[in-house]
Amino acid sequence: MEVLREKVEEEEEAEREEAAERAERAEKTMRPVEVRTEEAPLTPEMLRDLEKKLSEIETPASEEPPVITKDTIDISSLPLSYKTNTPKEEHLLQVADDFSRQYSHLCPDRVPLFLYPLNECEVPKFVSTTIRPTLLPYPDLYNWDGCAQFVSDFLTMVPLPNPLRPPSSLYSSTTVLKYQKGNCFDFSTLLCSLLIGSGYDAYCVNGYGLRDLCHMDQTREVCPLTVKPKELVKRRERALSKKYTVKPPRDLSSKFEQEQEIKKQREIRAQEQKRLREEEERLLEAEKAKPDPLHGLRVHSWVLVLSGKREVPETFFIDPLTARSYSTQDDRFLGIESIWNHKNYWINMQDCWNCCKDLVFDLGDPVRWEFMLLGTDKPKLSLTEEDDNGMNDEDDVENLGKEDEDKSFDVPHSWVEQIEISPEAFETRCPNGKKVIQYKRAKLEKWAPYLNSNGLVCRLTTYEDLEWTETLEVKEWYQNREDRLELKHINKTTGLNIDYFKPGHPQALRVHSYKSMQPEMDRVMEFYETTRVDGLMKREETATTMTEHYQGRPDFLSYRHITFGPRVKKLALKSAESNPRPIVKITERFLRNSAKPADEDVAERVFLIGEERIQLRYHCRDDHITASKREYLRRTEVDSKGNKIIMTPDMCISFEVEPMEHTKKLLYQYQDMMHLKNEEKVSRHLAWESELEVLEILKLREEEEEAHTLTVSIYDTRRNEKSKEYRETMERVMHEEQLQQVEAQLDYLAPFLAQLPPGEKLTHWQAVCLKDECLSDFKQRLIDKANLIQARFEKETQELQKKQQWYQENQVTLTPEDEDLYLSYCSQAVFRIRILEQRLNRHKELAPLKYLALEKKLYKDPRLVELLKVFA
Amino acid sequence: MNHLHDSMEPRVMDDDMLKLAVGEQGPQEEAGQLAKQEGILFKDVLSLQLDFQNILRIDNLWQFENLRKLQLDNNIIERIEGLENLTHLVWLDLSFNNIEAIEGLDTLVNLEDLSLFSNRISKIDALDALVKLQVLSLGNNQISNMMNIIYLRQFKYLRTLSLSGNPISEAEDYKMFICAYLPDLVYLDFRRISDDTKELAEAKHQYGIDELKHRESLMQARLEDEQARREELQKHKAAFVEHLNGSFLFDSMYTEDVEGKKLSYLPGVSELLEAYKDKFVIICLNIFEYGLKQHEKRKTELDTFNECVHEAIQENQEQGKHRIAKFEEKYLLSLNTIREESEVPTIEKKIMECGEDITELFNALMTLEMQLVEQLEETINLFERNIIDLVGLFIENVQSLMAQCRDLENHHHEKLLEISINTLEKNVKGELDEDLPDDVRLVSALFVDKDTIINAVGASHDIHLLKIDNREDELVTRINSWCTHLVDKIHRDETTRNRERVKEISQYVDHMQSELDNLEYGDILD
C-alpha cells in the first residue's frame, strides 16, 4: 500500500508539473482578445510571469492532502465498468483523441480540450459518459431549482487544484456523492445528470468565470432571502364614466399655483434622488472587489439549460455551487470553451470578447458550435449565410472526414452507476446537516430537520456592516415544532420580536410580536379567527390599553377597546394576583345588523365606568348622514321626600334622527338602561377574561419555548417512536420464534455449554475447547457405535459357527424337524450377519462425513462463530 | 261546555277589563312604578292574557297592534272575530271555548302557534293565510272526516299536531294515515313520531300518496304556467305592445264587423282576406318586436340613470358623514376642555368657538347639499330630454307602422269593393246562380243594389280603421302618460330627498346648538 501511495503521489507530482507547464503553454496561447479587453494594463508577458509565480505559490499549497485524494477512495467496491473500458468506449476514446488532435492542429492558439479526464480508478473516460441521467424519486428534485439547491447543499466545494486549468480527473457522481465533496466540474456533472434525468435540455459547460463565482464567494451578493419582493403597484381601474355620471363640482383653485407647487416639489425630489444616487455610488465603490489579476483566466464549470424542453422559456445558466440561475447575459460568466451533455460534445467557435453576451446557443449551427459526434438529435441549422471564410471550409472538410470515419456513432451507455441518494442523506442534505453561507451583510445558516432539538432549520442574520459584526436582525425558521412556530423574527435594533405560527397552535395564535414576555406591555397578538370560538382576530396591548378586533361574530361585535387606570393600592394585601387594574373605559363597536332598523342598531357604545355614563351611537340610516345618539347618566339620587329616584328625563340625553314616540317614555329608557347595565357587567367580565387569556398565552409560550418538542409525522417511520417500537417488537417476536424453532431442532452444544457458568460470554479459549470437546465426543460416539455393531456382528458369527459345529457333530442323530429348525436358524443368522456387516460398512463410510459436517456446523454456530473465526 | 261558566253572567271585553289585565301583566317593581306613572299604551303591549274571564265575544282589541301573544282560553267565546288588526300575532290560544267554525284568521299571517283545543269544530279550513303555522292543537273537537288531514298538507312548517279526542282519532288507521300524509310532522298528539312508524305508514299508504302527489304537482305546474303567462303579458304591457305578437288585433277588427263577415263569403274574398291577414300580422309583429326592443332600451337608460344618481348621492352622503365625524371628534374634545376649565372667560371663549364650529358645519353640509342638488338637476334634465326623445321616436315609428296597417286596410277595402261590385253585377245578370254556395245566398240581401253593397263594405272598412286607430291611440296615450309620470316622479323624489336632507341637517345642528346652550346654562347655574 505504501508503495502504491508513493507512486500515486509521484504521479500527481508529475501531473502537477505537467499541468503547470501546460497552463503556461495555454496561457501563451490564451485568446489575446480577452486579455486585451479585460486586463488592459497587463501585457501577456507580465501575465505569464505572474502566472508562473502563482503556480509556484500554489504548488506547495496543493501539496497538503486534498480533501479527496485517490488513496482515500475505496475503489475496491466500485463495479467493473469503473475500472475498465469496453471496446466501444475504447473506440470512442480513440475518436475523441483524433478529434482533439485535429482540433489542436486547426486551432493551435486555443487550450486543449477537456475531453477524457481520468476517473477515480485512473481510467480515462469520455466526459459525456460521465453524465448519468437519473430521475430521483423525490418530488423536490423534479424542477431545476430544487435540483440545483440540492446539489449545492449536498456537496462541499473544493477549489480546483489549478484555477487556470480544468482538472486532470473527473470522478463519477457515485464517488462524489459518497464523499460529499467535489470541484465545480463534479458539481455540474451531478447537476447535469439530475437535470437531464428530469427532462431538461441541460449541458455541462467548461468556461471561464469571475473569481467570486469560481470560489463560491457570495460575500458581495445580496442574500436572496433579504430581498423584499417587489410590491405590485395596483393601478386602480377608474370606473368608466357612465352616461349620467354627475359632473364634479367646479374646481376654483388656481392652475398656475398648482403648477408652481408641482415644479418646486419635483426639484426637491430630484435633488433628493441625486443625493441618494451619489450615496449609493459611494457605497458601491467601497464594496467593489479588488481587481483580480487572473481575471478571465479562471476556469469554471457550470450548467447551461436550453429553452424548449420542460417549458423553459429562455436559455439560462445555473451556477451549481450556489444554485442560483443567471441570464446568459450575466457578466459573471466570461467565456465558454466547450459544452457537453450525455450524448455529444460541442466546442464554442464564437468569440467571447464580450463575455457570453453575444453567444448564440444554437447547437445545430456548425459554424458557431463544432460538434464531436455525428448523429445527435439536435436539429441542424439550415445554412442561410454563405460560408465565406477559410475557417469554415476547414470545418467542413473536417466534418466530411469525420462523417466518413464514424457515421452515426452513438455515445456508449454511461459507465457510472445509477445515482442513488438515500432518504436519510436527502433529508440531511448538507454534509453533517449543516451549512453556512456568507452574503453581503448577511449570514445564512441551514440545518437539516430534526438536527436541532428546537426544530431550527434556517437562520438568516442581517448585519449593519460588511464585516458581519453589528447584527441588525435575525430571522429563524423552524420546522416540525409542536407549538407550530414557523418563523421567529428578532429585530436587534428595536428589540421587537415577532413570532409567526402555522395554523394549529392550541390558542390559535398566528403572529405574536412583543418586546418582552412580561404582561401588560406593548404587544400584538394575531389569531386564526376562524378557529376561535369568539372570532378574535387581533389583540393589541399597550401599558394602559387593550384593543381587540373581531370578525364573524353573531352579535356583530367588531372592536373592543379597554382603557385601564392605574392599580389601586389595596390596604390588605391578601393575594397579589387578584388585583386587576381598574377599567376606566370600554368602547365597543358593532357592524350593521341588517335585521334591525338602523335607529335601533347600536354602532358604538362607550361605557365610562368611573363616571357611570353610557354613550350610545347608532348606525346611520342608508339615506341619512346623521346618526342617532343617546347618553345615559346613572346617578342614584334621592328626591326631597327621601324616595329613591328611579328614572328622570334628564338621565337620558338623546338625539334622534327621526323622533319616535316610544323612545321618549321613561319606561323604555329605564329598560334600555337596565339592559345596558347588564351588558356593561358582561363587557367588564370579558375584559377581565381577555387579560387572563393573555397571561395564559404568555405562560404557554414560555412553556413551549422551554420544552420545544418536535412532532413526528406518522408516516415518518424512522423517527416515529411509536411505530418504531411496534416494528421492533414485531421483529423481536419474529426473532424469538426463529430461535425457538432452532432450539426445537436439537442443540448439540447444550450439554457442553451446561458445564460452563451460564450467562457469560465465551472466551476464545473456551470456544475452542468447546468445539474440540464436542468434536471428540462425537468421534467417540461414532467409534462406540462402530464397536457396538462390530460386537454384535462377532457375536452372531460366533453363534452361527457354534451352531454349525453342533450340526456337524449331531447331523446323523437329528430328526428332520430339528434339521429344519437348524436350517431356518442358519438362514436367519446369515441374514442378520449380512445386515450387520452392511451397517458396519455404511457406518465406516459415513462416519468421517458426519464428523466433518459437525465440524462445519460448529464453525457456523452463532455462539461460536465470532470466536472461532480468528483461528480459522 | 263548562257549567260553572254557563251559570255566570257573560262579560264584555271593555276598556276597564283590558286596562286591568295590562296593568297586572305589565312590568313589575321599579319599572312597574314608572309604568304606572306614565301609563301604558295598548299598542306597546306585546302579550295579553285574558283567561277565565267568561268572555262571550272578542271585542275592543283593535288597539293592540303589536300584540305577539294572546291568550283567550277558558271563556265562552262562540266565534273567532275582532282579531283582524292583530297582524303581528304569533301565539293565539282559544282553547276551552265554544267555537264551532274556524274563521276570522285571514289577516294573521305571522301566526305560528294556534290552539283550538276543546271546542266544537267539525271541519278544518279557513287557515290558508297562516303560512308560518308550526303548532296546531285541535284536540277534543268534533272532526270526523279523515280528509281534513289532506287540507293540512299545505302548511310547510307544521311540526306539531294534536287531534286526539276527535271522532277521527277512533279510527284504527288514524295514526298511520296522518303520518303518511303529513310526512314532515314531528309530534302527533304530543308524542314524537318514530322513524319506524313513518316508514311503515309510508309503505301502507304509498299508493294514495303517490296519486295525491301527482295531482298536486299537476296543479303546481298549471299554476306556474299561469304565472309565467301573466308575467309575460305584464312585460308586454310595460312595453305597450301587448297582444301585438299575433293576429289579435286583426281578429278584433272582425269580431264586431257583421258585414265584413258576410262579405268574406264572396268568391275570391277568402283568398284576399288570407293574404291581407298575413301581411297585417307581419306588421303587427314588427311593431311588437320594435316595442320590446325600445322597452329594453328605455329600461337600460333608466337603470343607468338610477345607478348614477344613487352613486352621486352615496358619495355626497359619505362626504357629509365624514364632515360630521370630524366635527364630533373636535366637539367632544372641546367639551372635555370646557368641563375641566374653571375660568369663566375662557369657558365663554371656548363655547363661542364651539358655536362657530357648529355654524361652520352647517354651512359645509348645506354647501354639499346644494352642490348635489345642482348636479342632480343637471343630470335629471339630461335624462328627461333623452327619455322624451326615446319615447317620441318610438311613437313616431309605431305610427308609421300603423299607417302601413291602414294602407293595407285601404288596399283591401278597394279590392273588396271591386269584388263586391263585380259580384253584384254578376248577380244582376243572374250568372252566379248555379255555382254559388248556400252561404252566399245568405249575403244576397246585400246584393240588392250598388249603394247597399258600397255601404256595407264601407261600414266594414270604417270599423277596421277605427280599431286600428284605437289601438294606436291607446299605445300613444299610455306611453306618454308613463313618460310624464316617470319624469314627475323623479322630480318629486329629488325634491323630497332635498327637503329631507335639509331638515336632517338643520335638526342636527339645532340639537348641537341647544346642547351647547344647555351647557352654558348649566355652567351659569354652577
CA B191 to CA A735: how far, in whole Å?
65
pLDDT tens digits for range A466-495: 778 888 889 999 988 888 888 999 988 888
CB B335 within 8 A of CB B486: no
> Is residue B319 included in any domain, yes or no?
yes
CB-based contact A548:A539 (threshold 8 Å): yes
Going by pLDDT thresholds of 50, 70 and 90, the confidence category of residue A269 is very high
Kindly report, residue by residue over B204-228, the tens digit of the pLDDT.
888 888 998 999 999 999 999 999 9
Judged by DSSP in three states, A463 sits in strand
Q: pLDDT tens across A789-839, in order? A: 999 999 989 988 988 888 888 887 878 888 888 888 888 988 999 999 999
Residue B227 domain-assigned?
no
pLDDT of A601-625, one tens digit each? Answer: 899 999 988 888 888 889 888 888 8
Instruction: Say how many CB pairs under 8 Å bridge A and B.
Output: 76
- A760-779: pLDDT as tens digits: 677 777 778 878 888 888 88
Verify that B215 and B294 share a domain, yes or no: no
Distance CA B195, CA B193 (A): 7
> Closest partner residue to A244 among B34, B365, B379, by Cβ?
B379
Residue owning grid cell 328605455: B298
* pLDDT for A392 beyond 70: no
C-beta of residue A48 within 8 angstroms of C-beta of residue A28: yes
A560, burial (CB in 10 Å: exposed 0-12, middle 13-18, buried 19+) = buried
Average of per-residue pLDDT across A617-645: 76
CB-CB under 8 Å, B31 with A670: yes
CA-wise closest residue to A626 among B406, B415, B187, B510: B510
Instruction: Please report the DSSP string for A34-86 in residue order.
Output: HHHHH-TT--HHHHHHHHHHHHHHHHHHHHSPPSS-GGGS-GGGS-HHHHS--
The C-alpha cell of B472 is what?
Answer: 294606436
**Domain match, B291 and B440 both:** yes
In terms of domains, do B436 and B364 share one?
A: yes
Q: Is the pLDDT of residue A574 over 80?
A: no
Domain ranges of chain A: 80-215+292-371, 481-568+576-706, 749-869
Indicate the number of domains in chain B: 2
User: Is residue B234 in a domain?
Assistant: no
Please report how the helices A44-63 and A2-28 are oriented relative to each other, as an axis angle in degrees rounded to 10. Answer: 170
Nearest Cα residue in chain A from B513 = A655
In a domain, B80, yes or no: yes
A240 to chain B, any CB pair closer than 8 A? The answer is no
pLDDT of residue B226: 96
Q: Answer yes or no: do B161 and B299 share one domain.
A: no
Closest Cβ–Cβ partner in A242, A249, A647 for B371: A249
Query: Which pLDDT belongs to residue A560?
Result: 93
Q: Residue A743: which residues within 8 A CB-CB, separation 6 or more?
A: none
Placement of cell 449570514 in the chain = A443
In a domain, B2, yes or no: no
Check: pTM over 0.80? Answer yes or no: no
Contact across the interface for A625 and B501, Cβ inside 8 Å:
yes
pLDDT of A78 reads 81
CB contact under 8 A, B37 and A666: yes
Q: Is residue B232 part of a domain?
A: no
Helix (H) / strand (E) element for A460: namely: strand A456-463
Q: Is 0.85 exceeded by the ipTM? A: no
According to the model, what pLDDT value does residue A640 have?
Answer: 61
Domain of residue B137, CATH code: 3.80.10.10
pLDDT of residue A51: 57
Whole-angstrom CA distances from B504 to A596, A625, A658, A766, B360 are 21, 8, 9, 113, 16
Q: Are residues B218 and B358 in the same domain?
A: no
What integer is the mean pLDDT of A385-408? 43
Domain that holds residue B398: 247-523
In angstroms, the separation between the Cα of residue A588 and the nearest Cα of chain B is 17
State the pLDDT at residue B480: 93
* Mean per-residue pLDDT of chain B: 86
Contact A667 B515 (CB under 8 A): no
**SS3 letters across A518-578:** CCCCCEEEEECHHHCCCCEEEEEECCCEEEEEECCCCCCEEEEEEEECCCCCCCCCCCCCC
Q: Which residues of A touch B372 (CB under 8 A)?
A: 246
**Structure confidence by residue, pLDDT tens digits, A745-763:** 666 677 777 777 766 677 7
For A225, the grid coordinates are: 432571502
- Least confident range of A704-718, B115-129, B468-482: A704-718
Q: Which of B207, B222, B237 is the last residue of a domain?
A: B222
Give the residue from B222, B257, B291 where a domain finishes: B222
Residues B203 and B299 in one domain: no
Within a domain: residue B439?
Answer: yes
Per the listing, cell 275592543 goes with B60
Q: Residues near A754 by Cβ (< 8 Å), separated by ≥ 6? A: none
Q: Hey, are the CB atoms on B504 and A666 less than 8 Å from each other?
A: no
- The pLDDT of residue B394: 92
| pLDDT cut 70: percent of chain A above it | 80
**Nearest by CB: B504 against A249, A625, A666:** A625
Q: What pLDDT shows up at residue A233?
A: 58
pLDDT-wise least confident of A678-682, B38-42, B184-188: B38-42
Nearest-angstrom CA–CA distance, A493 and A473: 7
CB contact under 8 A, A667 and B31: yes
Q: Angle at the Cα of B495 (from B491 to B501), degrees rounded to 5?
A: 145
pLDDT band at A355 (very low <50, low <70, confident <90, very high): confident
- Final residue in a domain of this structure, among B182, B205, B222: B222
Name residue B220's amino acid.
Answer: Q
Q: What is the pLDDT of residues B81-95, one digit of tens each?
A: 888 888 899 999 999
Q: Is the pLDDT of residue A387 over 50?
A: no
- B178-189, pLDDT tens digit by residue? 988 898 999 999
Residue A402 has pLDDT above 80, yes or no: no
pLDDT band at B257 (very low <50, low <70, confident <90, very high): confident
Task: Say what the pLDDT of residue B482 is.
Answer: 92
For residue A3, pLDDT beyond 50: no
| pLDDT over 80 (residue A675) | yes
pLDDT, residue B339, reads 77
Does domain A80-215+292-371 correspond to CATH entry 1.25.40? no
Rounded mean pLDDT of A246-253? 77
- Chain B residues near residue A592 by CB distance under 8 angstroms: none
Same domain membership, residue B119 and residue B266: no
Asked whether the beta carbons of residue A246 and residue B378 sit closer than 8 angstroms, the reply is yes
Whether the pLDDT of residue A549 is over 90: the answer is yes
Q: What is the mean pLDDT of chain A?
A: 79
Beta strands B69-71 and B47-49: pairing type?
A: parallel
Report the alpha-carbon distance of residue A657 to residue A597 in Å, rounded. 13
> Each residue of A89-124: pLDDT tens digit?
888 888 888 888 888 888 888 888 888 888 888 888
B355 residue type, one letter: G
What are the residues of chain B with a beta carbon less than 8 Å away from any beta carbon of chain A?
Answer: 27, 30-31, 33-35, 37-38, 40, 44, 301, 304-305, 307-309, 311-313, 317, 320-321, 324, 365, 371-372, 375-376, 378-379, 382-383, 497, 500-501, 504-505, 507-508, 511, 515
The per-residue pLDDT for range A362-371, each reduced to its tens digit, is 888 888 888 8
- In a shared domain, residues B354 and B461: yes
- State pLDDT tens for residues A209-233: 888 888 877 777 777 777 766 665 5
Q: Identify the band that residue A136 occupies on the pLDDT scale cut at 50, 70 and 90.
A: confident
User: At residue B324, does pLDDT exceed 80?
Assistant: yes
Same domain, B256 and B217: no
Is A667 in contact with B30 (Cβ distance < 8 A)?
no
Of A243, A246, A647, the CB nearest to B34: A647
Choose among A246, A665, A674: nearest Cβ to B376: A246
Residue A183 CA neighbour count, 13 Å, CB half = 22
| B1: pLDDT strictly greater than 50 | no
Q: Do A623 and B365 touch (CB under 8 A)?
A: no
Residue B392 has pLDDT above 80, yes or no: yes
Range with lowest mean pLDDT among A522-531, B62-71, B332-341, B410-419: B332-341
CA gap B525, B519 in Å, rounded? 10
